[in-house]
């Protein structure tokens, strides 16, 4: 990881230049809400195992995926995130027994609803990664980054300051 | 043969009178004529008032303009005031309320959420013939509407310029009423004998047509609608299931919604408001009818109700036993929307 992270906001093209910039030049910024017990530890393992994945992610550690209120996702999009990922323990493995099952219902509803208002489905994604799945985490990050790159910089719901 | 409006109004008056005389209720909530044409407003009759002047009951009406969801007004009777005396000293008031299909489902939703006490309510079910969308009528009129009269299936309108027209009621109904699955209230304490309209498809056809749009087209539609929003919060106030004492929209310590006129703030407000109704919204269109700007909220409330139905096989209905889907969970819930990197890379 490293040097590009701080630059992401400034590398965003302005709206008129969109088509002239090759997909490779633009780096999306992605906010990832990871649960403390599984996915965050999975990200940690990916790091200590020196697995490579795109440097576009800002990780926010939360106690449980159920802590993620869909408003967090909306706020991230409004503040300019190109993509949002929420990841918790696999169903059945939650540190709080069934936090992720409660979360799964909320996420299922908000994901469909955001698609209905016109937010591309690649922008907001949910996944399960356990503490031992460093390689799954790296693969997940790459797949999310690819997905967000495919739909390009976020313009919808972004608050212009 | 008397016409439907007069017949229904009279039946509701009789039922209210019976409840007051039998000392079964302290308050009756129904509708009375509004001060403007094409509007009926909630009426609150108290037992003392009726004891003094029994003719007050005759102010109750039931026409095609009863667009509010009366369940909204129940909450105030159950407010948990900090200084409320013990229940046995001051029991909850016994409330009689006239309910359409949607109002009735809201009452049951509120009872499940313990915001009202079902035992202290007397539900007077009114099979619904549908309520009109006043905007649909106004669109057809070239001048200000100064009077209207509803007889059976037509509404006669008089304009300021002296002209008068007749409007087919069915053509002026709200979309939610045309598509309503539950026009007939169930599990009520009494029911008025008047025909209900035929149940609709719940908006399936309209939603399917909307689904054909691309993401960008959907976004364009959402933007165009929300651009009209003036952030008056009428939609929230009109909604029976928006009962939080402190709304996220008013939080200032964690400021979810900016105070300015930014479009994205109006959008985040509306997305969150409707998302909070998932599994609770009865698609009564009270929010749409209350909106002064005519924002198409129906397209979104309908979608979320439909999504909850598809995902969790739940519609807020007349059954007091089922639990609201977002208050519970199941191990068998679908994982379909979860990103699985292993599958994505195959
Ligand atoms: S969100 Fe609108 S349609 Fe749904 S219950 Fe509330 S007022 Fe009725
Ligand atoms: S009632 Fe209409 S204008 Fe008022 S806040 Fe709701 S959507 Fe906006």
Greater pLDDT, B338 or A22: B338
User: How is residue A86 written in tokens?
Assistant: 């929420």
pLDDT digit string, tens, across residues B223-272: 999 999 999 999 999 999 999 988 999 888 888 998 888 999 999 999 99
> Looking at the complex, does the CB of residue A150 fall below 8 Å from at least one CB of chain B?
no
By C-alpha distance, which of B239, B250, B317, B245 is closest to B285?
B239
Instruction: Look at ligand 1, atom 1, and give the residue with the nearest C-alpha.
Output: B281
pLDDT at residue number B344: 56
Q: List chain A domain ranges.
A: 27-151
pLDDT at residue number B89: 62
Instruction: Look at ligand 2, atom 2, and give the residue with the nearest C-alpha.
Output: B291
Domain with CATH 3.40.50 in chain B: 1-129+178-200
How many CB pairs below 8 Å do chains A and B form together? 116
State mean pLDDT over B118-128.
94
Does residue B239 have its Cβ closer than 6 Å to ligand 1?
A: yes
Residue the block writes with tokens 């029911």 = B191
Confidence of residue B182 (pLDDT cuts 50, 70, 90): very high
pLDDT at residue number A161: 77
User: How is residue A69 written in tokens?
Assistant: 């209120």
> Looking at the complex, does the CB of residue A108 fall below 8 Å from at least one CB of chain B?
yes
Report whether pLDDT(B122) > 90.
yes
Task: Centre a 10 Å sphere on the Cβ of residue B36 and count the other Cβ atoms it contains.
Answer: 12
Residues of A in contact with B325 (CB under 8 A): 105
Pair A87, A35: CB distance under 8 Å: yes
- Contact residues for B245 (Cβ-Cβ < 8 A; gap 6+): none
pLDDT at residue number A4: 39
pLDDT at residue number B259: 85
Greater pLDDT, B59 or B260: B59
pLDDT digit string, tens, across residues A7-16: 344 444 444 4
- Tell me if B267 and A107 make a contact (CB, 8 A cut-off): no
Question: Which ligand 2 atom sits closest to the C-alpha of B230?
Answer: 3
Does residue B8 have its Cβ closer than 6 Å to ligand 1?
A: no
Checking phi first, is residue B27 left (phi over 0); if not, alpha (psi -120 to 50) or beta?
beta
Would you list the DSSP string of A45-104?
HHHHTT----S-EEEEEES-GGG--HHHHHHHHHTT-SEEEEEEPPTT--TTSSHHHHHH
Give φ, ψ of A115 to 5 degrees. Answer: -65, -35
Q: What is the ipTM of this complex?
A: 0.90
Q: SS3 for B298?
A: helix
Residue of chain A with shortest Cα separation from B221: A117
- Across chain B, mean pLDDT equals 91
pLDDT at residue number B343: 76
Report whether pLDDT(A131) > 80.
yes
Report whether pLDDT(B19) > 90.
yes
Question: Which ligand 1 atom sits closest to the C-alpha of B106?
Answer: 5
CA–CA min distance B6, chain A (Å)? 42
User: Which residues are near ligand 2 (CB < 6 Å)?
Assistant: B 229-235, 290-293, 295
Q: How far is CA B149 from the centre of its chain?
A: 24
DSSP letter assigned to residue B173: B
| Domain with residues B1-129+178-200, CATH architecture | 3-Layer(aba) Sandwich (3.40)
Q: SS3 for B305?
A: helix
Pair B293, B230: CB distance under 8 Å: yes
Would you list the DSSP string of B225-243?
HHHT-----HHHHH-TT--
Would the CA dihedral through B176, B168, B150, B156 be positive or negative? positive
Instruction: Look at ligand 1, atom 5, and give the residue with the nearest C-alpha.
Output: B281
By C-alpha distance, which of A65, A24, A56 is closest to A143?
A56
The CATH number of domain A27-151, selected from 1.10.357, 2.60.40, 3.40.50, 3.30.530: 3.40.50
CA–CA min distance A14, chain B (Å)? 19
By C-alpha distance, which of B223, B243, B195 is closest to B72?
B243
Report whether pLDDT(B215) > 50.
yes
Whole-structure pTM value:
0.90
CA B299 / ligand 2 centre spacing (Å): 14
> Looking at the complex, does the CB of residue A135 fall below 8 Å from at least one CB of chain B?
no
User: How is residue B225 written in tokens?
Assistant: 């609608």
Rounded alpha-carbon distances, angstroms, from residue B165 to A64, B35, B241, B343: 61, 21, 38, 63
pLDDT digit string, tens, across residues B74-119: 998 887 666 666 655 667 889 999 999 999 999 999 999 989 989 9
By C-alpha distance, which of B299, B277, B290 is closest to B221?
B299
Counting ligands in written order, which one lies closest to the CA of residue B274? 1
Share of chain B above pLDDT 70, in %: 96
pLDDT at residue number A5: 38
> Looking at the complex, does the CB of residue A91 fall below 8 Å from at least one CB of chain B?
yes
pLDDT at residue number A160: 86
Q: How far apart are CA A50 and CA A134, in angstroms?
A: 9
For chain B, the residues whose C-beta falls within 8 A of a C-beta of chain A are 210, 215-222, 248, 256, 258, 262, 264-265, 267-268, 271-272, 274-275, 278, 300, 303-304, 307-308, 311-312, 325-326, 329-331, 333-335, 337-342, 344-345
pLDDT at residue number A24: 62
């Amino acid at each position: 990881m490293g040097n590009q992270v701080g630059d992401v906001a400034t590398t965003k093209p302005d709206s008129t230049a969109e088509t002239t910039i090759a997909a490779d030049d633009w780096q999306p910024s992605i906010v990832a809400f990871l649960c403390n017990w599984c996915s965050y530890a999975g990200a940690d393992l990916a790091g200590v195992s020196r697995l490579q994945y795109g440097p576009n992610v800002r990780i926010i550690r939360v106690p449980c995926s159920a802590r993620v209120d869909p408003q967090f996702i909306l706020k991230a999009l409004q503040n300019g995130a190109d993509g949002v990922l929420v990841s918790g323990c696999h169903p059945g493995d939650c540190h709080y027994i069934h936090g992720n099952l409660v979360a799964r219902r909320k996420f299922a509803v908000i994901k469909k609803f955001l698609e209905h208002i016109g937010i591309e489905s690649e922008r907001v994604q949910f996944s399960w990664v356990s503490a031992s799945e460093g390689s799954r985490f790296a693969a997940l990050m790459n797949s999310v980054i690819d997905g967000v790159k495919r739909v390009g910089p976020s313009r919808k719901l972004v608050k212009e300051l | 043969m008397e016409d439907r409006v007069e017949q229904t109004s009279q039946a509701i008056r009789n039922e209210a009178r019976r409840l007051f005389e039998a000392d079964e209720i302290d308050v009756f909530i129904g509708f009375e004529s509004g001060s403007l044409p094409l509007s009926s407003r909630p009426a609150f009759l108290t037992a003392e008032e009726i004891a003094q002047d029994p003719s007050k009951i005759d102010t109750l009406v039931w026409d095609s303009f009863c667009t509010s969801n009366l369940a909204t007004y129940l909450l105030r009777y159950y407010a948990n005031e900090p200084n409320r005396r013990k229940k046995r000293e001051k029991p909850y008031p016994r409330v009689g309320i006239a309910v359409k299909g949607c109002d009735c489902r809201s009452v049951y939703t509120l009872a499940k959420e313990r915001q009202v006490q079902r035992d202290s309510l007397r539900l007077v079910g009114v099979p619904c013939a549908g309520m009109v969308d006043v905007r649909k009528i106004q669109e057809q009129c070239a001048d200000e509407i100064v009077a209207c009269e509803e007889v059976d299936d037509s509404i006669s309108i008089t304009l300021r310029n002296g002209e008068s027209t007749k409007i087919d009621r069915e053509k002026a109904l709200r979309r939610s009423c045309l598509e309503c699955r539950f026009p007939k209230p169930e599990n009520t304490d009494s029911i008025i004998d008047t025909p209900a309209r035929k149940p609709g498809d719940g908006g399936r056809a309209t939603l399917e047509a909307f689904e054909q749009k691309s993401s960008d087209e959907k976004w364009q539609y959402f933007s165009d609608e929300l651009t009209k929003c003036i952030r008056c919060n009428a939609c929230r106030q009109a909604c029976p299931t928006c009962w939080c004492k402190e709304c996220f929209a008013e939080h200032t310590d964690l400021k979810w919604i900016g105070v300015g006129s930014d479009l994205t703030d109006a959008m985040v407000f509306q997305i969150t408001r409707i998302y909070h109704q998932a599994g609770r919204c009865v698609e009564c269109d009270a929010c749409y009818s209350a909106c002064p700007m005519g924002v198409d909220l129906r397209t979104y409330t309908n979608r979320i109700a439909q999504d909850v139905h598809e995902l969790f096989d739940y519609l807020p209905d007349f059954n007091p036993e089922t639990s609201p889907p977002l208050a519970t969970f199941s191990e068998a819930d679908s994982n379909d929307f979860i990103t699985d990197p292993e599958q994505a890379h195959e």
